[in-house]
Structure 1
Amino acid sequence: MKIPDRRKRSRERWREIGVGLVAPVLALALWQWVAYQGWVNPQVLPAPLDVWRKWVDYLLPLVPFEQYTEGGRWSWAFSGELPMDIWTSMFRVVVGFAIGAGLALPLGLAMGASRVVYAWMNPLVQILRPIPPIAYIPLAILWFGLGNPPAVFLIALGAFFPVLMNTIAGVRHVDGIYLRAARNLGADGATMFLRVILPAAVPYILSGARIGIGTAFIVVIVSEMIAVNNGLGFRILEAREYFWSDKIIAGMITIGLLGLAIDVAMNRLNNHLLRWHRGLEH
């Protein structure tokens, strides 16, 4: 029975992927047709094929090809900047998210479980939470200078509050039936927290992590436009200065694909960790 079920799920998954590709393919076809008709300036909105060629040029490693020029020098076929830009951006996202979530999780658990901690910390959290991470850019540069430290600080800040607020909500909204049942069975405070409250709050915590890493990925692009000299955000800003609109769009598409990959990975991780939770299919 398991093999047919797996095949059925596989067919359904591929069907969903096919349906999801319809809109992007139609958008690309319309975009190419508009560019082919010459209705827009190619420097303002290049054709998808031009963007694809620039994306390949951006992706492939730097390799020379022999070509005699007036100066007698070698010419270079590809820039190969994209792999390094992806690596640096993802490194900053992972480090910043780990710091932000690592600080938010214990604080959220404490605020959710203790009314005293919540009363002390909640006013400060509610004052700082509405401030966007972008507003901290001048302070981040003053405190940390340029390079990775200010970028990581901004990313950690962007990931901190989604994880914190979802963790607090998860702990404070545990079903009262679970709590009464645990008390009737003689559970002490530590057992109540570790065996009842924490598992019940895991879905909220994972949802906060999914939102937090998405926010971290947005913040890294903004921070790389200001404080560093590499990464996807820096490369888009560099292309803007030279009016390379095809490279700008290639970088934007790369960001979108990476964001999609991160979201899919987080969704699968959530489903795997929450197999026991009611409502998820095994």
Structure 2
Amino acid sequence: MTTQAIPRNRRRSSRSFWSNPWYERAVGMVVPVAAILLWQWVAANGWVDPLVLPAPLDVWRKWVAYLLPLVPFEAYTEGGWWSWALSGELPVDVTTSMVRVVVGFALGAGLALPLGLAMGASRVVYAWMNPFVQILRPIPPIAYIPLAILWFGLGNPPAVFLIALGAFFPVLMNTIAGVRHVDGIYLRAARNLGAGRATMFLRVILPAAVPYILSGVRIGIGTAFIVVIVSEMIAVNNGLGFRILEAREYFWSDKIIAGMITIGMLGLAIDLAMNRLNNYLLRWHRGLEQ
């Protein structure tokens, strides 16, 4: 008596169904949609003060008003679409915040990458620099806010400095770990083939460390995005962080939540973009899985 095996094409179709990205996205939307519906139900029944937690529809109206540009007229009917106070601040705030993130991250990662490569490849450089790095690394960028204002004043320079500081250490530590944890088999094989020090570093150590470096870049840009929100609450007069702080002063809780949702959406977009970039750059590393 023999057992009949499941057809291979059926197994493949079942596997492809569960690995379908559209299915994963649909499943991932269940919890957020359920949370929004529960939130709306609680607000509609008046169980919470609208000043403390406005309804999702009110937040949506404020978000659209925050997004759309200012129009030169308003309808006279209260509660209508055109009676919303349109400001058009969101595109400007998003642009200024992202510019600060890009500039600060470029400075922080641009300094961390060569230092991390040097510390990972040279025991002498590591011995000299590691104690200093380990002393500074636990200090959060927020603790530097008073010094940043004293050194750079107000405006973009202190914000960029804090962002660069937040991105510096994740990139640095992951780069060091990537260089120092290259598989010894690769190194011995390269030596046996007669590779010199420069060839060893450029053709063996650096490619093997790329996954670690990209992981550090992903963490660093996420940290930079967090730091920009904090720095904009202190040192500048525009951006998403500044707008949330301004809304708090006037008890605009709907605008606060609209700004927070915008930050979450931008953070998700940045993480997805970095994930796609990692998959593209590391397609050789995942060749056996494809």
Which residue is equivalent to 2:49? 41
**2:251 is the counterpart of 1:240:** no
Q: 1:270 to 1:9 in 2, by over 3 A?
A: farther
CA apart distance, 1:279: 6.3
In structure 2, runs of 5+ residues without a counterpart are 1-11, 77-82
In structure 1, runs of 5+ residues without a counterpart are 69-74
* Counterparts of 1:264 and 1:199, CA distance in 2: 23
* Counterparts of 2:17 and 2:217, CA distance in 1: 27
Which residue is equivalent to 1:101? 109
**2:132 is the counterpart of 1:124:** yes
Counterpart secondary structure, 1:38: coil
- Return the letter of the residue paired with 2:136: L
CA apart distance, 1:64: 1.2
| Preserved contact between residue 65 and residue 84 of structure 2 (Cα < 8 Å) | no
Percent of residue pairs bearing the same amino acid type: 87
| Preserved contact between residue 222 and residue 267 of structure 2 (Cα < 8 Å) | yes
Comparing 271-280 with 24-33, greater Cα deviation is found at 271-280
**Residues 47-69 of structure 1, C-alpha deviations (whole Å, 9 max, x = no match):** 0000000000000011111668x
Q: 1:239 to 1:187 in 2, by over 3 A?
A: same
CA apart distance, 1:280: 6.9
| Preserved contact between residue 274 and residue 280 of structure 1 (Cα < 8 Å) | no
* Counterparts of 2:288 and 2:94, CA distance in 1: 33
Residue 275 (structure 1) aligned to one of 275, 283, 286:
283
- Return the letter of the residue paired with 1:265: A
* Counterparts of 1:235 and 1:249, CA distance in 2: 11
Which residue is equivalent to 2:144? 136
The equivalences for 1:69-84 within 5 A come to 77-84=85-92
RMSD: 1.8
Q: 1:133 to 1:92 in 2, by over 3 A?
A: same
| Preserved contact between residue 64 and residue 77 of structure 1 (Cα < 8 Å) | no
Where has structure 1 moved over 3 Å in runs of 4 or more? 8-11, 278-282
**2:228 is the counterpart of 1:201:** no
| Preserved contact between residue 65 and residue 77 of structure 1 (Cα < 8 Å) | no
**Residues 203-251 of structure 1, C-alpha deviations (whole Å, 9 max, x = no match):** 0000000000000000000000000000000000000000000000000
* Counterparts of 1:29 and 1:160, CA distance in 2: 40
* Counterparts of 2:43 and 2:73, CA distance in 1: 31
Residue 266 (structure 2) aligned to one of 251, 258, 266:
258
| Preserved contact between residue 65 and residue 76 of structure 1 (Cα < 8 Å) | no
**Residues 131-181 of structure 1, C-alpha deviations (whole Å, 9 max, x = no match):** 000000000000000000000000000000000000000000000000000
- Return the letter of the residue paired with 1:248: I
Residue 210 (structure 1) aligned to one of 214, 218, 227:
218
Counterpart secondary structure, 1:187: coil
* Counterparts of 2:110 and 2:22, CA distance in 1: 36
**Residues 97-152 of structure 1, C-alpha deviations (whole Å, 9 max, x = no match):** 00000000000000000000000000000000000000000000000000000000
**2:36 is the counterpart of 1:23:** no
* Counterparts of 1:10 and 1:156, CA distance in 2: 40
* Counterparts of 2:35 and 2:241, CA distance in 1: 24
Q: 1:280 to 1:38 in 2, by over 3 A?
A: farther
Counterpart secondary structure, 2:70: coil
**Residues 70-98 of structure 1, C-alpha deviations (whole Å, 9 max, x = no match):** xxxxx985100000000000000000000
Q: 1:19 to 1:176 in 2, by over 3 A?
A: same
Which residue is equivalent to 2:182? 174
Residue 158 (structure 1) aligned to one of 138, 143, 166:
166
